[in-house]
Amino acid sequence: MPTTLPLLPGSLIDGRPATLGVLGGGQLGRMFVHAAQALGYETVVLDPDAGSPAGRVSHHFIQADYRDENALRELAARCHAITTEFENVPAESLAALAATRPVSPAAECVAIAQDRIREKAHFASCATGSGVAPAPYAVIENEADLGQVPAVLLPGILKTARLGYDGKGQARVANRDELAAAWQRMGGVACVLEQMLPLAHECSVIVARGRDGQVVSLPVQRNLHRDGILAVTEVYEGNLPEIAVKQAQSATVAIANELNYVGVLCVEFFVLQNGSLVVNEMAPRPHNSGHYTVDACDASQFDLQVRTLAGLPLAAPRQHSAAIMLNLLGDLWFSADGQPRTPPWRDLLALPGAHLHLYGKTEARRGRKMGHLTFTGPDAGAVRQRALQAAALLGMEAF
């Protein structure tokens, strides 16, 4: 029987507790499950990994491939509404689930985020209203396209159209020869070439949009990436020029509205050296840069994900503390000579305002996201000082 929204916390539907499902068992799914359980919902996770972080804390766990039809039917039977924790879940699986259950975000929105070509086209179509466009780019799908690339796009960054994340599937190219060689190394798949621009900062905006079209926005996050992976997020008043903050939030709302989006959406931007803004990419889910909201806001990005999925009211979230988040990669579990070690948790937790979140991953690997460490406080300067102390203790580069 189709689900009727809203799904009220702690309610019974046909004699069963209201239950929310999530495709994907990583750390984002784990934090979604915690937020759903705090409101009294039961949860179900579907993931192929028997040791998935979210699966280990959920009421129910279905270990299966995301395309497994029997598993999808079981998920739909157990749940009253379903979401996803990562953008590379098969869009067709979301579409199949949506035949009988409320699913957010919609399969079509996820499909656009999975394809840089479609994503760039969407950003370009929204630029007229928001004033924020993507970087100049060209689509490369065959050898003929290589020869037609405008010279102004070089030097540039070549990105695969699909399945690129955390800096993977990307290459910097200075000229046409490097472009051709990089495209061949990527297997000659569909790509996007973006003009390299003079960057001052990177930032992101997270919004939540309900089925009624109501949109609420979290503060703009200033982000630092290293080797294509988020390293540091800083969120406090004055972290970015006010004009950039307003443009980024306005552009994100426009992108969500144009998609008729339902759920939590993160849009990443570049702030150029001249102060102008360029839209980079979007994630149809909560985002690494929004983890600070668990400790620094009265409603986290995961609370908002639960509310949009269940059809609950969206109160505008408020940040009550300045925050800086450090992303904890598996590299920190190894010494300089490659020997396994335990990070100095005792010293880190002695720092005022420290909030440690580990994701329950049993094996540390270099580049793997193992957790995050957020510092909060009433004063941005003091928060920054403590975050820098923590970085030094961890052996992380200062910022």
Going by the annotation, the residues of the binding site for ATP are 116, 159, 164-170, 194-197, 202, 225, 280-281
Q: Are strands 19-23 and 81-84 parallel, antiparallel or unpaired?
A: parallel
What are the two backbone dihedrals, phi and then psi, of residue 285, each rounded to the nearest 5 degrees?
180, 175
Strand pairing partners for 319? 297
> Rounded to whole angstroms, how far apart are CA atoms 53 and 64?
15
Distances (CA, A) of 273 to 115, 197, 219, 277: 28, 9, 22, 9
What residues form the annotated binding site? 116, 159, 164-170, 194-197, 202, 225, 280-281
Say if residue 6 is preceded by a cis peptide, omega within 30 of 0. yes
Element containing residue 62 per DSSP (H, E)? strand 60-63
Is-contact 378 321, C-beta < 8 A? Answer: yes
Compute the distance between CA of residue 211 and CA of residue 106 in angstroms, rounded to an integer. 11
Q: What angle do CA 252, 250, 285 make, to 5 degrees?
A: 20
